[in-house]
Structure 1
Amino acid sequence: MGKKVAGTVYAKVDGGQVTVTGGVECPLSEVKRETVTTGFYKEEDLPPFVKLTCVDDPDLPIKQIMTATNSTITVEFGNGRVYVLSGAYVVGEPSSKGDDGTIELEWNGIKGVWQ
């Protein structure tokens, strides 16, 4: 029997559903490791994040999304995994793309938890 590992992704921003197109990314680790020399490594903290591309729906509350500094982003992947980012705020320079009607958004936050 096959197992579903990909497919439709659902995302909510402060409880409101956004229509996701394309991919969604969430980190699997809280740290980035880099080898200094054989057997020795260093670690850097990574901020928890969510990256996604969504439809620029006329009902999308863009002003609320862009000004919020304490959002909760919930992502449910096609395989059933769920990631919750709290204390989230938009980073980067998102823009609306008129040719395909999408917006790429990235949030960093205080805490990211896989459920």
Structure 2
Amino acid sequence: MGQKTAGTVYIKVDGQQLVITGGAECPTMDVTRETIDGAPGYYSEKERTPYVKVDALHTPDFPLDVLADGTDMTVQVEFQNGRVYVLTGAYQVGEPASTGDDGKVSLEFNGVKGMWQ
């Protein structure tokens, strides 16, 4: 029997749903690990900033001001496999811009805590 693992992704920012094109990206670990050169089996570990990356459509009701001014937002990502990623204390990073040829806005949020549910 097959199991659905991919498909439409739903994104809400402070309760407002965005129209998404493509998928979303969320980290699966709170740390990054690297093997120490010359020492197989030993590694270093660094804390990773929780994030969400997504391409949204710049619709007439796109919450531009909410996203631009928000510094303590909650971003919820619902995947088709039933998993949900919640990013709290979220704020936009980078240089988001709206494109006229496809009407997309590439968004990246960093935050204080990211949790899988």
| Letter of the 1:28 counterpart | T
Structure 2 residue 12 is the aligned partner of structure 1 residue 12: yes
Q: Structure 1 residue 102 and structure 2 residue 104: aligned?
A: yes
User: What TM-score, normalized by structure 2, do the two folds share?
Assistant: 0.96
What displacement does 1:35 show? Answer: 0.5
The runs of 5 or more residues in structure 2 that have no matched partner are: none
Report the CA distance between 1:42 and its aligned residue. Answer: 0.4
TM-score (norm 1): 0.98
Q: CA deviation at 1:94?
A: 0.7
- 1:42 alignment partner in structure 2: 44
Tell me the distance in 1 between the aligned counterparts of 2:41 and 2:79: 35
Which SS does the other structure have where 2:29 is aligned? coil
Please list the CA deviations of residues 39-96 of structure 1 after superposition, one character each: whole Å capped at 9, or x if unmatched: 2110111011000001001111111101100000000001111000000000001100
- Answer yes or no: is the 8 Å Cα contact 2:8–2:23 preserved in 1: no
Greater strand proportion: 1
Q: What's 1:29 paired with? A: 29
Letter in 1 for 2:87: L
Q: Which aligned runs of 4 or more in structure 1 are off by greater than 3 angstroms? A: none
What secondary structure does 1:96 align onto? coil
* SS across alignment from 1:113: strand
The alignment-based identity, stated in percent, is 56
Aligned residues: 115
Return 5+ residue gaps in structure 1 as ranges.
Answer: none
Shift of 1:12: 0.2
Q: Distance in 2 between matches of 1:8 and 1:22?
A: 8
